[in-house]
Structure 1
Amino acid sequence: MDNSIKQCLYCDKKMQGRTDKKFCSNHCRSSYHNAVYGNRTNYMRRINALLLRNRKILSDLFVLQRKGTQVPLSELYIKGFAPQHFTHQAKHASKTVYTYCYEFGYSYVGKNAVKIIQEVNIESSLL
């Protein structure tokens, strides 16, 4: 049995015990992994937060939009909509391209308005 003294990977504290032990405590283990892997997931969290904000804006305006009415682009921008962040695009039968944030999509109607739709069965349209 190897009783060599090792150092914690996070705080460099000397520790004894199992030969495969890497951290002196759960706090050090958690802090180490947060430091190593935190930056990788922060980018995805920020992008997903933007996508969810866009989805909420489209959802709110979809509820307010009466069937057949258009939503002014200015209304989207006032609420903080970021058109460069979307989940996918799809061309519908009318050859109109819709840009989606999850199940809510929009297409431009003229220069200053959009039409918002909700894809009821999102899984089948992505296959």
Structure 2
Amino acid sequence: MEKKKKACLHCGIPISGRSDKQYCTDQCRANARNSRKTEDKAERYMKQVNQVLRTNRQILHKASPEGKTTLRRQVLELAGFDFRHFTSVYRTQKGSTYYFCYDYGYLLLPEEKVLIVNQQLYMG
């Protein structure tokens, strides 16, 4: 009586080895996991938002290498900045609201201008 070999859950190739083995190679196992992960809508959405946040931070960093700069809002928009996505909000005692993309923040000023700042980490 001949045993029927199990097939790889990802590619379908017959598997040899342990009886509880599900994939023929580590590559097939990784590919199966990655395809399951990308099928999840919430996971895809998180990746898209994280990409926007990284892009926003990169634009702020390039626009303000010294840590503090004022420029027109249109400059950021033309570079692809998305004002709808930020990682945190800081409100000052005077009522100003800074929006941060990780360690770079911006304050919307009158006349379509933006103040870009680098978050100061205080050691205490």
TM-score interval (norm. to shorter): 0.7 to 0.9
The answer to whether 1:61 aligns with 2:60 is no
2:47 aligned to which of 45, 48, 52: 45
- Structure 2: give runs of 5+ residues left out of the alignment: none
Alignment partner of 1:14: what SS? coil
Deviation at 1:4, TM superposition (A): 5.7
In the alignment of these two chains, the number of paired residues is: 120
TM-score by length of structure 1 reads: 0.77
In structure 2, C-alpha distance between the alignment counterparts of 1:10 and 1:28, rounded to whole Å: 6
TM-score by length of structure 2 reads: 0.79
Name which of structure 1's ranges 50-59 and 39-48 shifts more when overlaid on structure 2. 39-48
In structure 2, C-alpha distance between the alignment counterparts of 1:7 and 1:88, rounded to whole Å: 48
- Structure 1: give runs of 5+ residues left out of the alignment: none
Across the aligned residues of Structure 1 and Structure 2, the Cα RMSD in angstroms comes to: 2.7
Question: 1:83 — aligned with what?
Answer: 83
Q: Sort the Cα spacing of 1:123 and 1:56 in 2 relative to 1 into closer, same or farther, 3 A.
A: farther
Q: Sort the Cα spacing of 1:106 and 1:123 in 2 relative to 1 into closer, same or farther, 3 A.
A: farther
In structure 2, C-alpha distance between the alignment counterparts of 1:122 and 1:108, rounded to whole Å: 24
In structure 2, C-alpha distance between the alignment counterparts of 1:122 and 1:76, rounded to whole Å: 28
Alignment partner of 1:77: what SS? helix
- Paired residues of 1:4 and 1:16 also in contact (CA < 8 A): no
The percentage of aligned residue pairs carrying the same residue is 29
Cα distance per residue 1:7-60 (max 9 Å; x no partner): 211122232321211011223222211211234454333322211111121122
Question: 2:8 — aligned with what?
Answer: 8
Q: Sort the Cα spacing of 1:5 and 1:63 in 2 relative to 1 into closer, same or farther, 3 A.
A: closer
Task: Give the structure with the larger helix fraction.
Answer: 1
Letter of the 1:76 counterpart? L
In structure 1, C-alpha distance between the alignment counterparts of 2:32 and 2:87, rounded to whole Å: 32
Question: 1:96 — aligned with what?
Answer: 96
In structure 1, C-alpha distance between the alignment counterparts of 2:80 and 2:24, rounded to whole Å: 46
Deviation at 1:64, TM superposition (A): 6.7
